[in-house]
Structure 1
Amino acid sequence: MDRYTVISADCHAGADLLDYRPYLEAKYHDDFDAWAATYVNPYEDLLADTADRNWNSARRVAELEADGIVAEVVFPNTIPPFFPSASLMAPAPSQAEYEQRWAGLRAHNRWLADFCAQVPGRRAGVAQILLNDPAEAVREVRRTKEAGLTGGILLPGAPPGSGIPELYSQVYDPLWAVCEELDVPVNHHGGSASPPLGDEPAARAVFMVETTWFSHRALWHLVFGGAFRRHPGLKLVLTEQGSGWIPGVVEMLDYYHGRLVAAAARASTAESRFGAGLAASMGNSPSEVWRDNCYVGASFMRPHEVPLRDRIGLDKIMWGSDYPHDEGTAPYSREGLRIAYAGLPPEEIAAMVGGNAARVYGFDLAALDRVAAGVGPTVGEIAEPLEEVPPDATSPAFAPGGSVRVW
């Protein structure tokens, strides 16, 4: 092995606004034309001259290869039809808007299937769904799987006050069942579950502090809700939420699981009611569920997280560049890998930067190895500790103190 085969488990793409129109059912075209005529995009990066990295396939392949990356898991980024902003949230405020937004997500999924097909075997597209009607979500899972999207589904956020059932609810069992049946990963991306906080400076700061925690909630909802007991083949991937939190949170969940199950087995106490029925409903302990069913899309894994890799699980970690976001490692992904992984055994690095993602998302690793033979970072290159951060790097991977090694 001379070069690493790097698969980014966290990239983003989407069509330019008007390019979604051909992918919409015809009955929505007039509504789309009226909506698009007055729509103002709220995101500066989607108005810049670099916005076409979201849909320009040739530019994208060239920039990723220059960055040492040969394949990608593709999450959404641009605005699908009829959405006011990003489409990661579950609810829609009215039945009419709900129907239109479903149409918009189906259009995105159709576009994404075509986008992935432009470079066969190198893009695993993540399909979008809504949770308001699980039966409709099941139909879209089946359709997108048949259409060739191999990245699984994006589980929308269900923030407090959203009005839809909490993620632990068994109302979603048909969705978990079809994902298990078709081997479709359930992805939950960071930033998708926070309640609205307003736009004051304090609110924006609080959002940054809390947003990953709200995204973590999907883990304990599905664990304590028993989704993995009823669907033992279900795969959950938590992406762009960091990875250093995982060992402590899983230990905390084990503590509450053991405490509540034990309390329920004793004579009536103030705490016994909290654990009533828990052992039978959820099955395995949280740490066993993590071991058997869960993975982390560890975007730009930082050096302080790397010593935890054995506690997280070496077979669980999937590095991501977050291309084309400003906080991503591009065009310095090689440096991002060096600052995190220099000095580690090559077989461990190979698993975290590509092997694990190939297994979870079904990439043909042998085929990608042939591409990586020409563009992948060399083993010797990544083994060299990074002494100087590129001065124009914008990723948190290079934040001050990030190069401190504690192993």
Structure 2
Amino acid sequence: MPLQDHHQIISVDDHLIEHPRVFQDRLPQRFKEAGPKIREVEGKHMWEYDGTVYPTIGLNAVAGKPPSEFGMDPVRYEDMIPGCYDPVERVKDMDLDGVQAALCFPSFPGFAGGIFHRSQDKDLAFASLQAWNDFNVDEWCASAPDRLIPLALLPTWDIDLSVREAQRMASKGARSVTFPDSPVPLGLPSFHSEHWDPLWSVLEETGMPASLHFGSSGYVPGFSFINSRVAGAEMTAPDAPFAVAIAAFATNLMWTTMDLLFSGTLQRHPNLQISLAEGGIGWIPYVLERCDQTWEKHRWYQKIDFDTRPSELFRKHFWGCFIEDTFGVANRQKIGVDRICIEIDYPHSDSVWPNSRKVAAAALAEVPDDEVEMIVETNARRMLNFPRRS
């Protein structure tokens, strides 16, 4: 049955481009000079932060452009449609696209705040991170509270600060926290350690899922294999075009999923929820099959859960997310229809705006109405604790 008018699309992965005053309007005076600000550099708009200049990557703001005009070069705000950085205009673009609500990840800070994590001045980094969080809740989402879903960054370099910021943002109405798809490339303890347990406990208590967006660790598959025992070993040819990395990005979340399934974290935190943002879903059935096979044969001598199949853990803790994934939709029963969400990815290059509703309708044309409703709306509302207001 095709997508119906009563089906409200909830995107669990969109993005916002921070407007130039986000940080300067909110930072304490002592941090304003070093804090993030927009500079004109050779006719382009660039972010300057703590003495370093960062480009606004063109692929992050291509909504409304044909693929023939995509590019990696930095862009000016005038080159973007206003919905990229203006929440009022964003809602108008969502109306045009037939999308009811969206969870929006950062741009300048990185999907999980990697810019701040790598900063040498951690006081400045934390103040800037809190400025982004307050902007997201108090300005961006407050402009349309039934349409824009609050998300929080965490100061991943300090577990105690992360716990407190997660608690603070939950009290402000955040529905999820964004977290690196792997802490290891950032020099942090892995998912296999107990380092993150205090944070996972807070997420359980507050009902906020950890949204793990691919690429949020800074690891680019196809260019450097961080998990290799050989430092700097390449997965593909070193002269491969960036298209290889773009095609392989979702494999980040395959590694993430397997790490977490065998980490023991999910057994210690039975209510922890994890969203695999922009990871696709077509790979999930095979990865679960492979993990179960591994568990059957190797749990006897390894320090892994002896009693619970990885596939059972997945269907209790994980949410798969997709934009266009014909194979995944066809194999949705092997994933769990109640564990699949849709994403729009506006204004990035994977988005099909302003045709998202049309594309979703075609993708779900053979799916029963009750399953369509779960995939496009109710699963996301349940995951994010974001009920309909009317």
Give the TM-score band, short-chain normalised.
0.7 to 0.9
- Asked if the contact 1:125–1:149 (Cα under 8 Å) also holds between the matched residues in 2, the reply is yes
Decide which of 99, 122, 125 is 1:69's aligned counterpart: 99
1:18 and 1:120 mapped to 2: Cα distance?
21
1:154 counterpart (168, 172, 178): 178
The aligned counterpart of 1:56 is 86
Structure 1 residues 72 and 259: alpha-carbon distance in aligned structure 2, compared to 1, 3 A threshold: same
| 2:270 partner amino acid | P
| Deviation, structure 1 residue 327 | 2.2
Alignment pair present for 1:179 and 2:166: no
How many angstroms apart in 2 are the aligned matches of 1:184 and 1:297? 17
Aligned equivalents of 1:328, 1:231: Cα separation in 2: 34
Provide the residue aligned with 2:11 in structure 1.
Answer: 8
Q: Which amino acid aligns with 2:325?
A: R
1:216 partner SS = helix
Distance in 2 between residues matched to 1:305 and 1:321, nearest whole Å? 16
Cα RMSD, aligned residues only = 2.6
> What is the number of equivalent residue pairs in this alignment?
345
The aligned residue for residue 233 of structure 2 is none
1:336 and 1:231 map into 2 onto residues whose CA distance is 37
Residue 41 in structure 1 maps to residue 65 in structure 2: no
Displacement of 1:161: 4.6
Q: Secondary structure at the match of 1:311?
A: helix
Contact 1:122 / 1:363 at 8 angstroms: preserved in 2? no
Following superposition, the deviation at residue 347 of structure 1 comes to 1.5
Q: Which residue of 2 aligns with 1:381?
A: none
Map Cα deviations across residues 290-311 of structure 1 (whole Å, 9 max, x no partner). 111111122x232232111111
Q: What letter matches 1:101 in structure 2?
A: A
CA displacement at 1:91 relative to structure 2: 8.1
> Which of these residues, 153, 156, 159, is aligned with residue 131 of structure 1?
156
Q: Deviations over 1:177-211 (max 9, x none)?
A: 11011111011012223536489751524423432
- Rounded to whole Å, the distance in 1 between the matches of 2:86 and 2:320 is 28
% identity of equivalent residues: 28
1:100 equivalent in structure 2: 124
In the other structure, the counterpart of 2:41 is none
With over 3 angstroms needed to count, the CA separation of the structure-2 counterparts of 1:278 and 1:309, relative to structure 1, is same
- Native 8 Å contact 1:319 1:352 kept in 2: yes
CA contact (8 A) 2:88 2:143 kept: no
* CA gap 1:306/1:60 in 2 versus in 1, 3 angstroms: same
The 5-angstrom pairing of residues 5-404 of structure 1 reads 5-32=8-35, 35=48, 39-44=53-58, 45=61, 47-48=76-77, 49-50=79-80, 52-77=82-107, 79-80=108-109, 88-89=113-114, 92-93=117-118, 95-96=120-121, 98-114=122-138, 115-150=140-175, 152-158=176-182, 161-193=185-217, 195=219, 197=223, 202=240, 204-262=242-300, 264=301, 275=302, 277-279=303-305, 284-298=308-322, 300-365=323-388, 367=389, 370=390
Bigger Rg, which one: 1
CA contact (8 A) 1:238 1:296 kept: yes
| Residue segments in structure 2 that go unaligned for 5+ positions in a row | 38-47, 62-74, 225-236
What TM-score comes out, normalization by structure 2 length? 0.81
Structure 1 segments unaligned to the other structure (5+ residues): 265-274, 371-407
**AA at the equivalent of 2:53:** Y
CA drift of 1:257 comes to 1.7
CA deviation digits over 1:136-192, x for unaligned, max 9?
111110011111112x11112436553221122111111111101111101101222
Note the alpha carbon deviations across 1:22-79, whole angstroms, 9 max, x for none.
22233311222784597352412352532532331221111101211111122222x1
Q: Is the Cα contact below 8 Å between 1:91 and 1:163 reproduced in 2? A: no
8 Å Cα contact 2:105-2:151 kept in structure 1: yes
- The 3 A distance-change label for structure 1 pair 107 and 200 is farther
After superposition, the Cα gap between the structure-2 partners of 1:90 and 1:184, relative to the gap in structure 1 and judged at 3 Å, is farther
User: Taking structure 1 as reference, are residues 326 and 203 closer, same or farther at Cα in structure 2, changes over 3 Å only?
Assistant: closer
- Aligned residue for 2:348, secondary structure, equals coil
Q: Indicate if the aligned counterparts of 1:129 and 1:155 stay in contact, CA closer than 8 A.
A: yes
Q: Which runs of 4+ in 1 moved over 6 A?
A: none
More helix by share: 1
Q: Is the 8 A contact 1:90 1:130 kept in 2?
A: no
- Structure 1 residues 40 and 161 mapped into 2: Cα distance closer, same or farther (>3 Å)? closer
Q: Is the partner of 1:168 in helix, strand or coil?
A: coil
- Deviation of the 1:218 alpha carbon: 2.1
Contact 2:13–2:105 at 8 Å: present in 1 too? yes
How big is each residue's C-alpha offset from its partner over 1:353-380, in whole Å with a ceiling of 9 and x where there is no partner?
1111111111223x2xx5xxxxxxxxxx
Question: Aligned partners of 1:26 and 1:331: how far apart in 2?
Answer: 41
Tell me the amino acid that sits aligned with residue 117 of structure 1. A
Asked if the contact 1:297–1:320 (Cα under 8 Å) also holds between the matched residues in 2, the reply is yes
Contact 2:10 2:377 in 1 (8 A): yes
Give the Cα–Cα distance (whole angstroms) in 2 for the partners of residues 246 and 53 of structure 1: 33
Confirm or deny: 8 A CA contact 2:35 2:124 kept in the other structure: no
Q: The residue matched to 1:331 in structure 2 has which SS?
A: coil
Deviation at 1:104, TM superposition (A): 2.0
Rounded Cα–Cα distance in structure 2 between residues aligned with 1:292 and 1:345: 23
Native 8 Å contact 2:150 2:174 kept in 1: yes
